């Protein structure tokens, strides 16, 4: 394999300011891609950390629920790097949630989770599509979740949102194949990201149960997702679309 299998490519990573998103941006950059990090907080600082490693990176402050800001994100990628080849839809709400019974979830929280996790993914894809088409095709990698298949309790809104991401991945794959755009998703297990570590109630409610169900009985870290995302973004996945790869240490066999 080439030392830079993504050399000459441009990747946009949403939610890339920290945690999983930053790890993915770094992994794509180390494989040769130029990186545009989009996030509500910390995008420019994250890009500066990548540049300190000798990688090509820029940051843009953007909210995935804003049509205007997603359009500006796509324009920034074209202005800074000449286009978009890879879109990683990582931005989402999870780390700030508190597990609670279905009947205790309020409508406002449901709407916010769906707005970011589902509508946000749609808006990112729609904003990036013209740039992807101008490059003759590309890759969209959506970050879903293993909970979409396991139906975990006490997070009904989050589980529903990630199930929608899996279905959206399949629908977009059928529509965008004619443009040479391949659409896949990666479904993580419970991951000890920066944000999750700052939510003790979430860790207490989920970590132990996750470890018990894994074949590989250790904590999952953001770095564990990098290989799967870079695979879908790279040349070895050139005939794969509409698929979801579960990365959870063997908790769910998909």
Tell me how far apart the alpha carbons of residues 56 and 34 are, in angstroms, rounded to a whole number. 5
List the chain residues with pLDDT less than 70: 1-2
**Number of structural domains in the chain:** 1
Asked, for residue 5, whether it belongs to a domain, the answer is: no
Buried b / exposed e over 233-254, threshold 16 CB at 10 Å, is bbeebeeebbbbbbbbbebbee
Residue 1: its pLDDT value, please? Answer: 41
**Residue 235: closest CA among 165, 99, 139, 126:** 139
Tell me the CATH number at 200: 3.40.50.720
Asked, for residue 3, whether it belongs to a domain, the answer is: no
Tell me how far apart the alpha carbons of residues 146 and 151 are, in angstroms, rounded to a whole number. 9
Tell me how far apart the alpha carbons of residues 146 and 195 are, in angstroms, rounded to a whole number. 18
Residue 204: its pLDDT value, please? Answer: 86
Q: Which one is catalytic: 22, 94, 154, 158? A: 158
- Residue 37 structural domain: 10-247
Asked, for residue 41, whether it belongs to a domain, the answer is: yes
**Residue 218: closest CA among 240, 250, 172:** 250
Residue 209: its pLDDT value, please? Answer: 86
Who's near 157: CB < 8 A, 6+ residues apart?
A: 97, 105, 109, 110, 113, 114
Tell me how far apart the alpha carbons of residues 245 and 209 are, in angstroms, rounded to a whole number. 21
Q: Is position 94 annotated as part of the catalytic site?
A: no
Tell me how far apart the alpha carbons of residues 99 and 249 are, in angstroms, rounded to a whole number. 22
Residue 201: its pLDDT value, please? Answer: 84
Residue 15: its pLDDT value, please? Answer: 98
Asked, for residue 100, whether it belongs to a domain, the answer is: yes
Asked, for residue 253, whether it belongs to a domain, the answer is: no
Catalogue the long-range contacts made by 151-154 (C-beta closer than 8 Å, 24 or more residues apart). 152/206, 153/99, 154/99, 154/100, 154/101, 154/102, 154/205
């Amino acid at each position: 394999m080439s030392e830079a299998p993504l050399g000459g490519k441009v990747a946009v990573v949403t939610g890339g300011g920290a945690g999983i998103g930053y790890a993915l941006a770094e992994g794509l950059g180390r494989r040769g891609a130029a990186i545009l990090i989009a996030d509500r907080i910390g995008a420019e600082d994250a890009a500066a950390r990548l540049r300190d490693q000798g990688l090509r990176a820029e940051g843009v402050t953007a909210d995935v629920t804003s049509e205007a800001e997603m359009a500006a994100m796509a324009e920034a990628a074209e202005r800074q790097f000449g286009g978009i080849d890879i879109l990683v839809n990582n931005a989402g709400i999870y780390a700030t949630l508190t597990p609670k019974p279905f009947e205790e979830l309020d409508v406002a929280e449901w709407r916010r989770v769906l707005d970011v996790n589902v509508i946000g993914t749609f808006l990112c894809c729609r904003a990036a599509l013209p740039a992807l088409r101008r490059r003759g095709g590309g890759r969209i990698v959506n970050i879903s979740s293993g909970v979409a298949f396991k139906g975990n309790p006490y997070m009904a809104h989050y589980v529903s949102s990630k199930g929608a991401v899996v279905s959206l991945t399949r629908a977009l794959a059928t529509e965008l194949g004619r443009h040479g755009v391949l659409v896949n998703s990666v479904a993580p297990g419970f991951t000890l990201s920066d944000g999750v570590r700052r939510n003790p109630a979430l860790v207490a409610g989920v970590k132990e149960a996750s470890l018990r169900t894994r074949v590989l009985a250790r904590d999952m870290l953001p770095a564990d997702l990098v290989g799967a995302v870079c695979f879908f973004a790279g040349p070895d996945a050139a005939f794969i679309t509409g698929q979801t790869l579960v990365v959870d240490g063997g908790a769910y066999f998909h």
